[in-house]
Structure 1
C-alpha cells in the first residue's frame, strides 16, 4: 500500500498557494479537468519536487446500470500514466441513466447520486469495478459518497456494502469521513458503526471536507471549513487504522492560504489524536492481560496447583484481541464472483435509476417509496450545482446577466435536463433566454446574442437545423 501522507486537492485557483504550502506530500486533481498532453505547469513543478499526483474521476458512474464507457476508462488511464500516479480513484455512484438499456431518454445528473444498497446494485457495481480494474494501468480505489436521499428497500448498511465490494473485487477504498458525517445527519447512519464494518486494511486514503447544515439537511459543499464533527470521525478512523494518506478537499470559496494551512494542521492533529487513542487502548488491554495473568498465577500458587514460574494461561478465543490489520488491501479470493451479471439485473437497476433521475431533473413523478421533501431538496441542489458549473465553463454569462443570471438559470433548468454536458447546457440556456422574451432589448441582450452566435455558429446542431436557425433568427429580429 502506497504511503501518501498529508495532501490537498489541487485546483487552479490555489495552485500557487499549494506550491508554497509546507508539509504537502501529495495532491489530488480532478481527472476530467486535466489534459495529458497539456498538464498545468504547477503540477509539473510539484512532480519534479517528488510530490505525488493522484487523478480523481467524477464522471465514470461505476454504480450505474450500464457498463463503464470505454472512452472514459481510456481517458482515466491516460491521465494516470501522464501523471505517474500510483493509483486512480472514482466514486461509488451513478451520474447518468436511461438510454438503450431502458428504452428511455438518456439523462445526465451533473452530480454524484447514491446507488441503492441492494444485492442487484452490488452485483452490477462489482462487475463494473472489475471492468475498470482491467482497463486501468494502476490500482483503483472507490469513494463512498454523501447522500441527501435514501433508496427504499435497501438490504445492506454502508459498511456491509463496502466490505462486500472490497472482498469480491479486491478494490481499494477511498473513505470520505465528511460523507460519513453527511449520511449521519441526512440518513441517521452512525459513522462509528460504518467504520466498524469496513475492511480497514483496504483503505487507500481518506478525504476530509467541509459543508453546512440548513433545515436539518447537511450539504457536502466542499466550500466551507471542516467542522469538528468531521474531524471527530477522522479521529475515530485513525484510532482503528493508520490511514495511508489524508487529503483536504476544497472546490470553491477558497480562503487565504493561511486558513488552508490551519485546516491541514487540524487534520494532522485529529489523526494524531486517533493514534494516541489507539496506543492508550492497547496499553490498557495489555495491562488488563498482565493483571489477569498475575491473578491467575497467584490463584494457582495459593492452591498449590502450579509453579509460580509456570506458563501463562491461554485466553479463550473469544477474549483474544484481533490482530492489527495488514497494510495490504483485501484481495478477491478464488471464490470471487466473476460471472457476468444477468441482463435482467442491469435492466431492473437501470429502470429504477432512470425513474429517480427523471424525477430529479425532468420533473416527472417521484418514484414510490422516496421521501418527496428530500427529493425536492436534492433536485434544487442539482440545479444549483448545475448553475454554478455553467457559470465556470461560461463565465461570460453571469457577467452579461448580472444578478439575473442565477434565477434565470434555475427557471430554465426546471424540467430541462442537460442534453450534452455543461458547455452545451450554457448554449441551451442562452438560447432559451433569448427566445423567452423576458430579457428586454438593451446592452445585456445584445451581448448575450453576440455570445450565443459566436459559439453556436451559423448552423447550430438540432433535430432540424434550418428550422431552428430560422426560429431563433426571427426571435432575435423581433427583439
Structure 2
C-alpha cells in the first residue's frame, strides 16, 4: 500500500456554502459528493479552488459496497471519471448497503435512500472484501471506505466494528475513512466503546477522518450533519490523534448552515487545534500498512450461496423499513421504527432539494406531510429524481391537490419533466390521465 499524500484540514464542499468555503482561510482540501458532480460542468467555485491548489476528493454514496450484489460497473466508471476530472489523489465510499431485492431474491428492487449497516458476520465480510477488490481494480486512484453510523444492530453479529475493519484492511489493503462522529453515534445507539474500536483499528490504514455534528432524541443519537460538532465527538478525535497523526481531517456539514460563515471557520479551527494538541510529540504519520498475504480461500470469489443468504437478509430488512413488511426475527422493533421514520424524513428532504419546486407549489408543511404519506405507500425504486416525478404523479392520480392553481402548477411541472414519452416504463395512458385530470380540474 502506497503512502497517501498529506491532506491537512478541510471541509465538505456543498453548493449552499460554496462562497463561504472559497473565502475561508486555512482550508487545505475539500470533499464533494461524487453523485452531485458532472465532470464536464464542474461548478465554477470548485474549479477556482482547484486552481488555487486545493485538493478535491470525490465522496461516493451510491455504490453499496456492503450489498449482496457486485458493484455496478457504470457507477464505478462514473466515479472513475469524476476522480480523473478533479485530479483527486483518492476516492471514498461507505461500508454500507443502499439497495436490496431484485432478481437474486425474486422480489422488487428497493432503494433505501440512505446508508444502512451491514451485519458484522463472516458471510458479509467475504462479500464486502470481494466487492472492495472489484472497486479497487476499476478505480484509477486508491479507495478508502468509511464506517457508518447505525441506529440499530444486526442479530447474530460475530465481530466488533474494529475487528471487522481490521480484517477488511488485512484482506484487501483498502484504506479507511474513519468518521469519529459515527463512532460516537454507535456508542450512544449500540453501546459500543469508541476507545475500544480505536484500539482494534489498523490506524496506519487511515486515509483521513470525518468530524460532524448531530443530536440526541429519546436516547437515540441522530447523525444529522446539520448541527455543531459536540464535545464527545471532539474527544474521540483527540483520542484518535493521540494514537496516529491522520493525513487529513474534515468537517462535514450538509444542511442547516449557519448564517454567519465565520461559525464554520471556527469549527474548522477547533478541529485543527484538537488534532494538534492531542498528538504525541514524537508521533509522526505512520508507515503505510502492508497487505497480508491472503489464502486461496480469501482470494476466491464469495460463493453465490453466501451472496444469496446476504441478499435475502438485506431484502427482508429493507422491506420492513420502507414497505411496512414484518420486522425480521431478532431485530429491535423500536429501533427499526426509528430508522424507518428517519429514512422517510431523509427521503423527503432530498426530494425537496432535487425538486425544490414541489415544496414551493404545495407549501412546505403540506409538501412534507403529503410526501411522508406517499413514502409510506410507495418505496423508492429508482433514485430521487424519479421519486420526485412519481410523487407528483401520485398526487395527481389520487386527486390529493385540491387548490386549482397549485394543481395546475404541479401538472405543468410534471409534464415538463416527464418528457415527450412520460415516465418511460410506465403505462403512458396512466400518465396522460393524471395530466388531463389535473388540467381539466384547473
Is the TM-score greater than 0.5? Answer: yes
SS in 1 for 2:299: coil
SS in 1 for 2:216: strand
The residue correspondences of 1:212-291 to structure 2 (distance < 5 A) are 212-255=215-258, 256-275=260-279, 278-279=280-281
List per-residue Cα deviations over 1:67-113 (Å, max 9, x = no partner).
00000000111111111111100000000011111111101011000
C-alpha separation in 2, matches of 1:224 and 1:478: 44
Which residue matches 1:326?
A: 286
C-alpha separation in 1, matches of 2:185 and 2:287: 28
C-alpha separation in 1, matches of 2:38 and 2:421: 29
Structure 2 residue aligned with 1:138, among 141, 145, 154? 141
Task: Answer yes or no: is the 8 Å Cα contact 1:462–1:468 preserved in 2.
Answer: no
List per-residue Cα deviations over 1:363-382 (Å, max 9, x = no partner).
11111111111111101100
Structure 2 residue aligned with 1:470, among 429, 433, 442? 433
Structure 1 residue aligned with 2:162, among 149, 159, 164? 159
Structure 1 residue aligned with 2:334, among 373, 396, 402? 373
C-alpha separation in 1, matches of 2:293 and 2:161: 22
What is the TM-score with the length of structure 2 in the denominator? 0.95
SS in 1 for 2:393: helix
C-alpha separation in 1, matches of 2:116 and 2:381: 18
Task: Answer yes or no: is the 8 Å Cα contact 1:201–1:330 preserved in 2.
Answer: no
What is the Cα-based RMSD across aligned positions, in Å? 1.6
The residue correspondences of 1:30-179 to structure 2 (distance < 5 A) are 30-179=33-182
Structure 2 residue aligned with 1:439, among 395, 398, 401? 401
Which residue matches 1:388?
A: 349
Offset, 1:464: 2.6
How many pairs are equivalent? 435
C-alpha separation in 2, matches of 1:193 and 1:464: 55
Which residue matches 1:428?
A: 390
SS in 2 for 1:101: helix
**Bigger-Rg structure (1/2):** 1
Q: Structure 1, unaligned stretches of length 5 or more?
A: 283-322
Which residue matches 1:10?
A: 13
What is the TM-score with the length of structure 1 in the denominator? 0.88
List per-residue Cα deviations over 1:301-351 (Å, max 9, x = no partner).
xxxxxxxxxxxxxxxxxxxxxx98833134242547211110000000000
Q: 1:334 to 1:433 in 2, by over 3 A?
A: closer
Q: 1:49 to 1:458 in 2, by over 3 A?
A: closer
SS in 1 for 2:178: strand
C-alpha separation in 2, matches of 1:29 and 1:462: 32
Which residue matches 2:381?
A: 419
Q: Structure 2, unaligned stretches of length 5 or more?
A: none
Q: 1:324 to 1:22 in 2, by over 3 A?
A: closer
Task: Answer yes or no: is the 8 Å Cα contact 2:393–2:431 preserved in 1.
Answer: no
SS in 2 for 1:126: helix
